[in-house]
A and B are shown apart, each in its own frame.
Chain A
């Protein structure tokens, strides 16, 4: 089978409020970084002819949000452009399909999200819900996560100490990552007694408000070496949707994630993820989600997320050495930051947070309340 490579990645530094730049300015910065690293151009015989973007209409406060960034992603001068109006990780599958179909051989992919543009990102997430029942009750992703956290904690008996460990560890790794947002170091008590946001979720269980942008260059196997000496291969991709209506879902079971992971592992030829995978980037917007998603990904037994933490599972599988969402990544492109981190790890370029002997990385992301939609990507060197 033909292969598709991620040649290089560029990450904008993540901050809580990048008030001094428009998101267009941020996109131009990472475009220049990526062009500097790979030498790719637009147009001409060998230039990029098709661009992929990821952004959100509500976060950007305009409909068809990709139209407003076309110049800074190289699409304005009569090139093709498509927007991934879903969590950015799905764009990896989209770009892969575009290249495998033979339609394109090089794709420039850039995503952005500034959560700080809105007075509260919960106002945006509230718009994800129906205007009849849930929106008027104040339902948003935080509330949905509160419901899920309670269900998951009751099922697994995971303790507040174990959840606090997840957050403390995230901040420790974030301190080594140039691009991470929140690097303030914490102890268990800081997390366990932080103010309650939405019971049982406390403020330090939740990811910090974040602005960021990520870009990457993808290419066919034939062309990848024009841009890099060590391409990273996309070997698995899967996604799966759960019900919009939370009342119908088993919130404590990662049903959609299991399906998405099954697809991705099958495509990558992975039969036993615990033996094959040695780096994980999961989208842990809230502390309980890290063990929960790892259960869904098959890295730990169902309902045993707490034991997994006690047994140093996150260290064993190199989970979120970037700091992950808990150290601050914007919604919509959290998964793309995960890809960027995994690519650097696989290339051996993760500097102070580099893990040893990484050759197979799994990236998971989610959108919708309480992990409604799930995406899994497998990358190998």
Chain B
């Protein structure tokens, strides 16, 4: 009974479409700043924990396991190994522009050479999506114009 009443009312309800937009600026801080500076120079920097010695990519200023400051940088990569991946066939629209990415596209979890923990996530070249499997070797493909942001690297491609 209650359900029927709700259904009748629902037909008479209206809703209001709202796009909420807030302008932000996000500082990188010195640790992420070094990472993005590195991308500009086609280099990958990790931090090394002074306590347990693990290297973290992308670099983190604090080792989450030891809860200690980690500010020593080591260079890793540029090649790495695919540890995991997903392939998206249904893309959500960008909430602000309404644009939808072309599918399929993939996110790959790459363990960079020389990095023994934490996994760097980026895209993979479209043509390589069918060849994706765990353990495959990949290398970065760089953008010609690099400004110190994640788009400095276009995607990974399979290192044949």
Contacts and interface: CB of A to CB of B under 8 A. Distances in A.
Contact of A119 (B24, B28, B32): B24
Contacts of B26: 22, 61, 117
Interface stretch (A67-75, A160-168, A198-206, A315-323): A67-75
Contacts of B24: 61, 117-119
Interface in B1-57: 16, 18, 20, 22-32
B64 A77 contact: yes
Interface of B: 16, 18, 20, 22-32, 60-65, 67, 69
A28 B62 contact: yes
A118 B64 contact: no
Contacts of A70: 64
A28 B69 contact: yes
A116 B26 CA distance: 9
A330 to B, nearest CB: 15
A28 B61 contact: yes
Nearest to A73: B67
A131 B16 CA distance: 9
Given A20-B27, A22-B29, A28-B69, A61 B22 contact: yes
Given A18-B27, A117-B25, A118-B23, 20 more contacts: A19-B27, A20-B30, A22-B27, A22-B32, A24-B29, A24-B62, A25-B29, A25-B30, A58-B22, A61-B24, A71-B64, A77-B65, A116-B25, A117-B24, A117-B26, A118-B22, A123-B22, A123-B23, A127-B22, A131-B18
29 contacts: A19-B27, A20-B29, A20-B30, A21-B27, A21-B30, A22-B27, A22-B28, A24-B29, A25-B61, A28-B69, A31-B67, A42-B67, A58-B22, A61-B22, A70-B64, A71-B60, A71-B62, A72-B62, A76-B64, A77-B64, A116-B25, A117-B24, A117-B25, A117-B26, A118-B22, A119-B22, A120-B23, A123-B22, A124-B22
A32 interface: yes
A312 interface: no
Contacts of A28: 61-62, 69
Given A22-B32, A28-B69, A119 B64 contact: no
A15 B52 CA distance: 34
Nearest to B22: A123
Contacts of B61: 24-25, 28, 72
Interface size class of A (residues with CB under 8 A): 20 to 34
A42 B68 CA distance: 11
A34 B64 CA distance: 17
Contacts of A71: 60, 62-64, 67
Nearest to B63: A71
Contacts of A135: 18
Q: Which of A42, A117, A132, A135 has the most CB of B within 10 A?
A: A117
Interface in A93-149: 116-120, 123-124, 127, 131-132, 135
A80 B88 CA distance: 33
Nearest to A35: B67
Nearest to A74: B67
A19 B25 CA distance: 9
Contacts of B23: 118-120, 123
B72 to A, nearest CB: 15
Contacts of B64: 70-71, 76-77
B23 to A, nearest CB: 4
Nearest to B66: A77
A77 B30 CA distance: 24
A124 B25 CA distance: 14
